[in-house]
Each structure stands twice: as C-alpha cells, then as structure tokens.
Chain A
C-alpha cells in the first residue's frame, strides 16, 4: 500500500509528467516518420543507424566529458548519418549485398560504442557508467529541459513530413515514375533517411540503441493492419507509438530498476500482435472467417 502510494506519487510528479509528454511526442513522431521509412523498405537501415548511435554518444562523451543530453544526441545523430553513409559507400564500391552490408555496419558500430564505453568505465571516468542508460533506455534521469528538446525535435520532424508528404510518399511508392517526372529522388531519399535517423536519435533516451528501432518499425506495421489509406496509417502508427512510449515511461516509473526500452517494445508488440489478429480486413481472424465463408459457398454449390 505504502509502496504503491510512493509509486503513484512518482508517476504524477511534475518531472515525470513532463517527461511523459515529451516521450509521447517522440512516440507519435517515430510512428509517423517510421511509416514512410518502412514503406520505403528502410527498416533494417534504421536498425543499423540505431546501433551506431551508441558509438556517437560514447565518442562525444569521451571528447567533452559532458553528459548534457543535447550534446550527446548531436553526437548520436552524426554517428547515425556517418553509419548510413558508410552503408551506402560499402554497397556501391564493394558490390556486397544489402543485408550483409547492413549487418556489418550495425555490429561494427555497436561494437565500437560498447568498447569505448567499457574503456571509460574501466578507467573510472566519472559519469561514464550513466552511458549504459543509452543501451536500453532510461527516462527517469531526464530533466524537463531534455523532454522539451525531444518534443520540439519531434514536432519539427512531423511538420517536415506533413509538408513533404506528397513528395516522400511518391518516391516510396514508385521511384522510377518520380524520377521520370522530374522529382529529385536521391534528395528526397536522403531526407527520409535523415528523418528516420533523427527519430532514432530522439527515441534513444527512452528506448535505447538496442531497441529504438522497434519504435520506428512496429507501430507502422501494426497500423498497416487497420487501414488501406496512407494518411490514416501514419496517424494510427503515431498513436500506437505514442501509447507504447507513454506506457513504457509510466511502467518503468512505477517499477524500480526497470529500463524503459523493453517495456515500450513489449507494449508495441502487444498492440502489433492484437492488430494482426483482429484487424477487420487483413487480420488473421477476418481472413479465416472469409475462407470459411467461401468454403461454405463452395460446399453449397458442390
């Protein structure tokens, strides 16, 4: 009783509420941007970028010794973009296949990140232990200033998507038609990848480098089950991302020592699973019902 009282006080503390609002914005933006990324078949690229961010966070910390979130996230974004650039470069000049190149960038970037963090912790660099929070996500330590930053970046990203929705969805659907009608496909493609990378980076504090991809990939795939319309899919994906993010933050605020990322992923996974099961047209149950019905008709005529 006493414990749960404490938990609820913790949950409704001012700071927790602000962090929850910030994370909600991140979840919404990640679902929305992620929808276009997934439709452009960039899910694995986002995972590689996510793992590489750890190297960026660790490097910036090693160089500056500061643990200010904006600085660390700037490092994460640089690392993500360098990672994607390396990926594109390797693909073009080594003639290695997509999936192999993606796996290489992901593991090397992540390995480098872990090595730098371990090196600093071993030397007892003050504050370096806190970097582990970027592995699995940890929102309890966020300040309301941090949360505001995350929210602002999310709002800006959503605005860019809203402005360029027509252009980006065109290249996602039909690249050759877009190019033939004069749209700068390469530029729009980079823009989309950068947007996804930004989402991965702002998702980092909540979900961590290992799990943040889930925030960009699972809500869109779940949302696709419910609708055949792109705009609706983006909105539903945003809502699912938001619910998962808020759920993760709330639960990890109540349960001591529970990292935020895993809870967010589990929330998203449950929504995904339910969507695949009960969605009206594409859901498993609906399809089973349809095939039973058509069998029934076949029997009547047989």
Chain B
C-alpha cells in the first residue's frame, strides 16, 4: 500500500473490554479496509455485541482502541449508523414508525431544532427502502417483529452513514423480512458502505456475507467468508459444540439436491 492510500475503514487495536470485573473481549485485533458485508459470528456471550459497542464508545475499554476512517470516534461519529438489539427498547412507547425513523436525523438536525421537510422526506424514502412506507403513521407496538427490525434499519439509513453497525437485525424475524433486510444491506455494500452485522445463522452468512469474523471472547479467525467459515474454525469458535442445526440444515439441503 502506498502512503497516500485511504486509511482502513475500521481498526480494532488490541481491544479488551469488561463489564465490572468480567472480561468479555480479549485483545481483539481486526482491520477492515474495504466496503463489504461483514458478519460477526460466535456463541452467546462471546462479546459480539460488545465489539460493536466498543466501536461506538458505548462500553469502556480496559485496553486498546478503535479507529474509524483512521480517526478517533468523536471526529467521525456522524458517519457511523447503528441498529441496537430490538429488545433494548420499550415498543409500547407512544411514537409512530415515522417518529422513530426521524430519530436517525436528530444528530444532523442538532440541539433545540426540529426535523424539517427535508428530514421528513428522507425518512419517507428510508421507509420506502425497507418496504414500510404505508405504515409510517402506525404506533410501533402494533408491528410484527420483522417490521420492527425494519423500522430500526430505516432509522439507521436516515443517519446517512458510511459505516453501519447492526446488532442481530434478523433476530426473531420472518423469512420475508429477513430477505428484505439482506437486500437493503447488500445495496448499502454496493453503494460503497461498510456493513458490519452481528448474526447467528451461519447459513445466511455463507450465502450473503463477503467476510466474517469468528469471535469467542477473543478473535478466532477473520477473513473472506468461504475461507474463514471452515468447519474447523467454526468448531474452534463454538468450543467443539458444532452448530448442530446448521449441519442438519446442510444435510437436508444436500439430500434434496441429490434426489
């Protein structure tokens, strides 16, 4: 690489994070230079969410640091979009779908001011992209799980970011919503954005994701999906407990192909 080359999109340098005295991430070193659809995979409690939160400054780091676009987070915060886990909010909250998506524009709008016509149009476009334009006025509690995830995705789109961090955006989602979400994420990748997704279904990772990091408190392996998601690496990540359901899924698939 020449000196004039753009800095990597995101770099984790020896990141160690802990809740209280319990460490959840150990010395994670990870650099992503190219826009891609990037999966973060690992067992429950492996620190996948914490990795995203470390990038967003939402957990204190015991050691190491994270740089985005070669800069510390505070300089580039507006270029980072975020989809938190769906369970972190109260869906009975009295706001409409539109209200939630507009929240994505708040940091652009700034203190004391209100989103204007331009922001409302942007929010409408984002809802259109996730296929929820006709539900804009509905209260968010009266949506299906998949629709709620798509509202969160639309809110992140309204941030107009360059890096997107999504925490289990396809948890508890029906097949149609999952397909729709994956399409939007691929579009983002095609538009030159880096999309990092915590995800648990290895099958969709294989099918859709360009690159992947396997995490079990430490980084087990990272790289292009077809090389990294080997049986051996997966086994090491899940401490020998292979994702049985995944294997069964593949067996069924093979059989249905041969018959």
Contacts and interface: CB of A to CB of B under 8 A. Distances in A.
Contacts of A166: 106, 109, 112, 114
Most chain B beta carbons < 10 A, residue from A167, A175, A182, A224:
A182
B94 A181 contact: no
A224 B80 contact: no
Contacts of A173: 89-90, 93, 95, 100, 103
Contacts of A163: 112
A166 B99 CA distance: 10
A233 B95 CA distance: 10
A181 B109 CA distance: 12
Contact of A177 (B82, B95, B109, B111): B82
A228 B96 contact: yes
B43 interface: no
Contacts of B111: 167
A149 B57 CA distance: 43
B173 interface: no
Given A174-B88, A176-B88, A230-B99, A181 B93 contact: no
B5 to A, nearest CB: 28
Contacts of A123: none
B56 interface: yes
Q: How large is the interface on A (under 10, 10 to 19, 20 to 34, 35 or more residues)?
A: 20 to 34
Nearest to A174: B89
B218 interface: no
Contact of B94 (A175, A179, A183, A228): A228
B58 interface: yes
A103 interface: no
Nearest to B74: A182
Interface in B45-93: 53, 56-58, 74, 77-78, 80, 82, 84, 88-90, 93
Most chain A beta carbons < 10 A, residue from B78, B107, B109:
B107
Nearest to B138: A228
B154 to A, nearest CB: 13
B15 to A, nearest CB: 17
Contacts of A172: 93
B96 A229 contact: yes
B94 A182 contact: no
Contacts of B82: 176-177, 180-181
A83 B74 CA distance: 34
Contacts of A183: 106-107
A182 B84 contact: no
B97 to A, nearest CB: 11
6 contacts: A39-B90, A39-B93, A176-B58, A179-B56, A180-B80, A229-B94
